[in-house]
Amino acid sequence: MQRVLVTGGAGYVGSICAAHLVDKGHEVTIIDDLSTGHSEAIPAGAEFYQLDIGDERQLSNLVKDRRFDVAFHFAAKALIAESMTDPALFYRTNLHSAFTLAECLRAAGLHRFVFSSTAAVYGNPAIVPIPEDHPKFPLNSYGESKLAFERLLEWYSRAYGWSVVAFRYFNACGATATHCELHQPETHLIPLLLQAASGVRSEFVVHGKDYDTPDGSCLRDYVHVLDIAEAHCLALELMHEPGFEVYNIGTGVSYSVLQICRIVEEVTGRNFKVRVGPRRLGDPAVLCASPDKIRSNLGWKPHASDLRSIVRSAWEWEQKRAPVQAPFPAVARSA
């Protein structure tokens, strides 16, 4: 049993990873400012403090008194479109406040750190599937701010003897029996498609159909959040020595936006209107992981990331939630 601090543990990935840690018998303390997280997502058995990671005084008092063994850092700003129009917000949260967190932990003597990073650090890849040592040219300030904090953590591992694991997520998706995606506003592909299928949205908009891909829409690698949670627990068992390691979390298989549209129709049995709109700023054409390193070093295997199973798990939640959401008129998909 380890004493684990989880930042952003009321958010989508953070809450599911925290629940997985609790199930494994760890003592979990969550901090979240609830700006985008939800108190109802906090798993039973975890202790919770509503706290901003940039609040140095409160954070210092908490970590000094509790003597945590390891920190899992999920708290971040993550909307790609917003990062293109308000980069200051992303650097303030994802770098400046994260630096405050790191310094508070260092002062308290903690030196094991697991970081929730992103495939957005790569930009448009020259090699697909993308290995971890691929050149980094982020297309948005979200990816830039995450990459900057990765580099800070690498220096901490060299200079201060920290043991750091950074996970670069590809597309986290899917639901569990107790948790689902719940963003305001919602920008993720599968929840948006399911809202269109349930009639909560009048249509689904494809952001660009002129990319250099087989059908012109973006290609992405989708991984179930339960498989992400399992990767974090595997890392926890191997963080014994100082060093910095980075791992992709993805399946090595990519699907286009239009392919996902068809899969959602198959799984839900619903047709819905699909409209092609302009490209969204900051979107690379292709993001597909090479999972070779995480499979080899951590023994990780994705058990829940079959795409139809992902959609099915999320659809079960959408059907529960749809009646209480403000509905739009359902529109049949045009040919």
State the DSSP string of 186-204: ---HHHHHHHHHHTSSS-E
How many C-beta neighbours within 10 Å does residue 212 have? 9
Half-sphere exposure of 320 (CA within 13 A, CB side): 13
3-state SS class at 318? helix
Catalytic-residue membership of 142: yes
3-state SS class at 72? strand
3-state SS class at 249? strand
Closest CA to 169 of 288, 283, 83, 275: 288
Task: State how far the Cα of 153 lies from the Cα of 210, in Å rounded to an integer.
Answer: 38
Task: State how far the Cα of 311 lies from the Cα of 174, in Å rounded to an integer.
Answer: 6
Task: State how far the Cα of 194 lies from the Cα of 204, in Å rounded to an integer.
Answer: 9
C-beta of residue 149 within 8 angstroms of C-beta of residue 90:
no
Which one of the listed residues 122, 142, 222, 247 is annotated catalytic?
A: 142
3-state SS class at 277? strand
Residues serving a catalytic function are 142
